[in-house]
Structure 1
Amino acid sequence: MTRQLSTIFIVNVVFALALSGPALAECTEAMELRLGEWFVEAEQAARDCLERRPENAEAWAELARSLAVQGRLAEAVEAVDQALVEHPHSGDYTLLLARLWYWQGEHERAIQTLSSLPVGWSDTHDVVVLRREIDLALAAPPDLLASKSYFLVQVGYLAASERPEGWHFRHALGLGVTQRLLAEVNFEGIRRGFGQARFTDFMVGGASEYRFDAGYRMRAGGAYTLNPRFSPLWNAYVEPGFVFEGGLELGLRFWRIEFEQAGINVLNPGVVKYLGPWLFDARYYLGIESGQSLRHSVLGRTGYFFHDDLHVYLGAGLANHADYLEGRQISHEYGLIGLSGIEFGFSQRLHMLVDYQYRHEAASERVLGQHRITAGLRTRF
């Protein structure tokens, strides 16, 4: 996925960039303004310099740096390309171009650019550090919500044996409150058939995630059902976790699902491992209810990223009484579940999601098969 670093982070990194070549006197103003964090003024000073001396490679490079700290990375690439036209063998300008590709998530282009560095540059400190950052980025799973703010609309169709058809919808708004905190509010509706009757439940909920230093993260969320007929009255969870270098994430969810007549506690450890371009996700659910036997279920999913804007997955699970993909009344003795889905990006901001889910459940010598297909759009802002 294309990843634009925050302006503050880019500022800190760009400060470390060494100036190359003989910076002409008329262009030192742009550098001084940039180092003083007057980025718009630094951009204008660099452009003024280029009006007088369009062949000044350092002015093009300084323009690229000023654009980069404003988050205008594509324009910065064009500027540093001009610097390399004037000085094609400059190690500093080549390294700057590689950094710009890396900040845009174009890791292969960054690696290719580094391979064109002049002799003697490959073992320098800045190049070694950048190569290490690229290696870590390639080992980490793609950030499917890189912009941190989004709006999601999903609509689904339900078909089950011996039951009338139903539908499902979900709307969600996610906001990047800070660089570390993501919050979501959502509204969901499900209509299901029971015998010849149909009932509809509406739920309002929310979720959040906060990422601490050193890889620690905390998730929490819940939902409340308005006048429930078959859904829980409310449910809530907390999930501490840790993200390791190399694309490994561990989490442990503590979940309470409360129905009008009874409730159940669910302990849910999970592990996610990214082995680019493959993503593996495994979860175990232990249901604990007073006076009842323990309930177990397992779920595994495998995803594949063809490129930044195309992701597919397949999954399967096995459970007794409940699979806990959603909070609902426990009504079967055992169940099998199959999952599949695709996410496709029309653009960086607009993605389409299509999911299919099949449940095979057995209860009291009756077998129920249920199909659900859901389609939706997610836009980022």
Structure 2
Amino acid sequence: MSKNNKVLNLYPIDYPFETLILRAKSNPPKLILNPDFQRRYKWDKEGNERASKFIESCLMRIPLPACYFAENEKGNHEVIDGVQRITTIKNFFNDEFRLEGLTIFKELEGKLFSELGDYKNELESTTIRCVVLRKENPKELVKEIFARLNQGAVQLSSQEIRHAIYPGSFDNLLIELGKLPFIETFGRGESGVKEKDSREQEEMILRYFAMQSNLDDYEDKLSKYLDMYISQNQILQEETINNLRNEFKNTLNKCLFVFDDNPFVNTAKDKKRQGLVYYDLLMWDFRNRELEFLTQNKNSIQEKFNELCLDTNFNKTLSGGLQSKSSILRRRILWTEKMAILNG
């Protein structure tokens, strides 16, 4: 490929939503949403909440990522990045879905575009930066650009979103505790190859604190429950943060002591890898256990845990609805019953 075929020939332009939709609806369309290398629209796979959130973001005037178009031989534009956003705008302007799951513009919940009143004009005039690759660019280069653009289009994890939305003293504590050596290496197994990303360590810490209750407010969706917990504890006083830090470290150290530095492992399996189910359960139980009791019964506790891993009723809670409230509480009951024998 020559040097000229490696450098993009492009120009930027800011299009109002109204203009984009007119170009997409023209006959023949001047804006083509489904070129052969583009992904199909998928924001409606599980209802319209994601699409509604995008519309709400537009109303909030949150800066939008640029769209990328490729100019074809007829001078029309093929969308190589931005089809989900533009299709969402087009569908909403056509009254094809009602807004749902809004958190800021709650007064617009359930409304069609035609029912938005003054907000209609605001959406129609909202602009989005579009980068147009001129038709002189080789087709192979256009496809390469699409591939590279979408390599970076990795969906944020739930914890990454929480980190962005709920900054504060509690989030700082999650970051700090997530750097503990044991937490950083959690789940790698004997091979040691599993690397953590997407703030998974911090979500582990959040799980511990959120799971200490009797789960009265738990509605079978762990992510939603964690969202609620961090939102309620976003800003905490220094004394509270210190107490939480000490509590977590002490509880983790108890688990490390009893299980010889390798807790939270299903001992019934050949592959010895830590699991969050066992982490949730043991950290919940050991939090209020006295170190003296754990020391005196260390070997017996290990035996009881081995029994639990082989328990048919326990293993039933690990398949289908793993994080349902009933499964979590059932695991707690089964473990508490085994520990009760040691309590005398």
TM-score w.r.t. structure 1 length? 0.29
* Structure ranking higher in helix proportion: 2
Quick check: which one's strand share is greater?
A: 1
